Amino acid sequence: MDDETRRPFQVPNPEDSSIPEQANLLAGEISPYLLQHAANPVHWRPWGAQALAEAKRRDRPVLLSVGYAACHWCHVMAHESFEDPALAALMNALFVNVKVDREERPDVDALYMAALHAMGEQGGWPMTMFLTPDGALFFGGTYWPPTPRWGRPSFAQVLNAVDAAWRDKRAELGEQSAGLVAHLAEQAAPPPGGDLAPADLARAAEALTRILDSVNGGLSGAPKFPNAPIFRFLWSESFRARAPALRGAVRALLDALSAGGIYDHLGGGFARYSTDGEWRVPHFEKMLYDNAQILELLALAAAATPTPVYAERARETFAWLMREMRAGEAFAASLDADSEGEEGRFYVWTAAEIDAVLGAEAAEFSAAYDVRPGGNWEGRNVLRRLARRGDPESEARLAAGRALLLAEREQRIRPTRDDKILADWNGLTIAALARASAVFDAPDFLAAAEAAFAFVAANLRDASGGLLHAWRDGRAGAAGLIDDYAAMARAALSLFEATGTPAYLERAEGWAEEALERFGDGDGGFFMTADGGDRLIVRPRPPHDGATPSGASLMVEVFVRLHHVGLAPRWREAAERAARRHAGSESAQAQSPLLLAAIDLLERGGEVVVEGRRNDPRAIALAREALAAADPTIVTLRLDPTLWPGGAPGGRPRLPAQPAAMLCRGQVCSLPVTDVTGLRALLAER
Q: Are residues 332 and 386 in the same domain?
A: no
Per-residue pLDDT at 20: 65
534 within some domain: yes
Evaluate whether 647 touches 654 at the Cβ level (below 8 Å): yes
Range of the domain at 160: 3-187
193 within some domain: no
Q: Are residues 333 and 308 in the same domain?
A: yes
The model's pTM:
0.94
Q: What are phi and psi of 663, to 5 degrees?
A: -105, 125
Total domains present in the chain = 4
CATH number where 665 lies = 3.40.30.10
Per-residue pLDDT at 16: 44
Nearest alpha-carbon partner for 492 in 481, 516, 508: 508
pLDDT along the chain (686 residues), means of 10: 31 45 91 96 96 95 95 92 95 97 95 87 89 91 87 90 91 85 78 85 97 97 97 98 97 98 98 96 96 98 97 98 97 95 95 98 97 97 95 96 98 96 98 98 98 98 94 95 98 97 96 97 94 87 94 98 95 96 88 97 95 94 96 96 84 83 90 95 90
Q: Are residues 441 and 485 in the same domain?
A: yes
Which of 368, 394, 411 terminates a domain? The answer is 411
- Can the peptide bond before residue 223 be classed as cis, meaning omega within 30 degrees of 0? yes
Q: Are residues 262 and 373 in the same domain?
A: no
Q: Are residues 569 and 622 in the same domain?
A: no
Q: Are residues 315 and 373 in the same domain?
A: no
Q: Are residues 507 and 600 in the same domain?
A: yes
Per-residue pLDDT at 266: 98
Evaluate whether 262 touches 273 at the Cβ level (below 8 Å): yes
- Can the peptide bond before residue 126 be classed as cis, meaning omega within 30 degrees of 0? yes
Q: Are residues 307 and 447 in the same domain?
A: yes
Which of 389, 411, 433 terminates a domain? The answer is 411
192 within some domain: no
DSSP string computed for 298-329: HHHHHHHS--HHHHHHHHHHHHHHHHHSEETT
Which of 411, 435, 450 terminates a domain? The answer is 411
Nearest alpha-carbon partner for 313 in 383, 388, 258, 247: 258
- Can the peptide bond before residue 12 be classed as cis, meaning omega within 30 degrees of 0? no
Q: Are residues 141 and 51 in the same domain?
A: yes
Which residues contact residue 677 at a Cβ distance below 8 angstroms, ignoring those fewer than 6 apart?
none
Q: Are residues 547 and 679 in the same domain?
A: no
DSSP string computed for 435-476: HHHHHTT-HHHHHHHHHHHHHHHHHSB-TTSPBBSEEETTEE
73 within some domain: yes
342 within some domain: no
Q: Are residues 351 and 363 in the same domain?
A: yes
Q: Are residues 387 and 482 in the same domain?
A: no
